[in-house]
Structure 1
Amino acid sequence: MEKKESWKICKRCKETYDPSSNTSSSCRFHPSFFVCRRHDDQKRYYELGPNDPPYAAKFYDCCGAEDPEASGCTTNFHVSYDDD
């Protein structure tokens, strides 16, 4: 195992990782933003806060998860801030 000095921080999930053990399932993240707006699917219901307008919904645009701390819906390789 490499020394921790060579480890990197993933810009997707913010985890520290060892580049030598980076695989296509190492990083779990949401490829889209957490948004607050009406969802295109009118069949879904969202829990609104007391100060939210009646049309507002808060969710990840990629998967519809309503919890901002929800585990990512996509896996891929970690991407370092050093990578271009």
Structure 2
Amino acid sequence: METKEIEKLCQRCKQSYSDSSNDASSCRFHPSFFVCRRHDDQKRYYELKPDDPPYAAKFYDCCGAEDPNAPGCVTSPHISYDD
């Protein structure tokens, strides 16, 4: 009799996975939030104020990617909601 693996849902990337396919690089995610601050000099990040100029950008706080659909900048094993 064949045992069927239980599919789990990853907390970070929201993909389904099984324990047998879960390795150190299975999950790709951003460890920080997508934020809205200006980062004009790439060294300091500022909170947006009402008078801020229109070049204020939205980006991931962890890696600076400005596309909200950018692939994650960190990999690790998946983490289940059941773990």
Q: What band does the TM-score fall into relative to the shorter chain?
A: 0.7 to 0.9
Q: Is the 8 A contact 1:26 1:76 kept in 2?
A: yes
1:22 — aligned with what? 22
Distance 1:18 1:37, change over 3 A: same
| TM-score, normalised with respect to structure 1 | 0.76
Distance 1:81 1:33, change over 3 A: same
User: Equivalents in 2 of 1:24, 1:76: separation in Å?
Assistant: 5
| TM-score, normalised with respect to structure 2 | 0.77
User: Equivalents in 1 of 2:3, 2:25: separation in Å?
Assistant: 20
User: Equivalents in 2 of 1:22, 1:57: separation in Å?
Assistant: 35
Q: Where does structure 1 lack aligned partners over 5 or more consecutive residues?
A: 45-52
Q: Give aligned-pair identity as a percent.
A: 68
Which of structure 1's runs of 4+ aligned residues deviate more than 6 A? none
Describe the SS at the equivalent of 1:20: helix
Distance 1:9 1:66, change over 3 A: same
Across the two proteins, how many residue pairs are aligned to each other? 73
2:70 — aligned with what? 70
Q: Where does structure 2 lack aligned partners over 5 or more consecutive residues?
A: 44-51
1:42 — aligned with what? 41
More strand by share: 2
